[in-house]
Amino acid sequence: MKILICKSRRLLTLLDGDTAVFSAPVALGSQPEGPKEKAGDGRTPEGQYFVCLKKRGKYGPSLGISYPNLQDARRSGADESLLACIRDRAARGERPPWGTFLGGEIYIHGGGIASDWTAGCIALADGDAEKLFSLVPEGTDVEILP
């Protein structure tokens, strides 16, 4: 399985191989253009990630994605110790460090799709968030396209 998010189309698609098994409209961060670069920029990441955490939170069922990845950290000028930490955690299938200057805690969650309102997360209608949560295990690949 793989989650594919196309930011420009505001669309999430869950793929099983080449077959779409679920699709839903999404809302993005308040500054949707371009990749996330740092905490507080309001952007939604772009790149290759994986579901590193499943939980129920403020916006219902939530899938944590593994932002920042190595490409994000390199692009934003992270030092070698942070790069090593991200690299090691990714190799073990663990969530990257959250709370650095790069930001983190990027989720696919409920809360609605009326406008781009999140701090960088991908929001779904609540019913769609429930459905996706039931279908996706931790470790599922996530690709976010511009």
Split into its structural domains, the chain has a count of 1
Cβ neighbours of residue 85 closer than 8 Å, sequence gap 6 or more: 96, 97
Contact 121, 106 (CB under 8 A): yes
Is the Cα dihedral 146, 24, 123, 61 positive or negative?
Answer: negative
pTM, two decimal places = 0.94
Per-residue pLDDT band for 117 (boundaries 50, 70, 90) equals very high
Q: And the tokens for 57? A: 């939170």
Domain that holds residue 32: 2-145
Write the CATH number for 90: 2.40.440.10
- Report the length, in residues, of the chain: 146
Average pLDDT over residues 77-103: 93
Give the residues across from 5 on adjacent strands: 12, 144
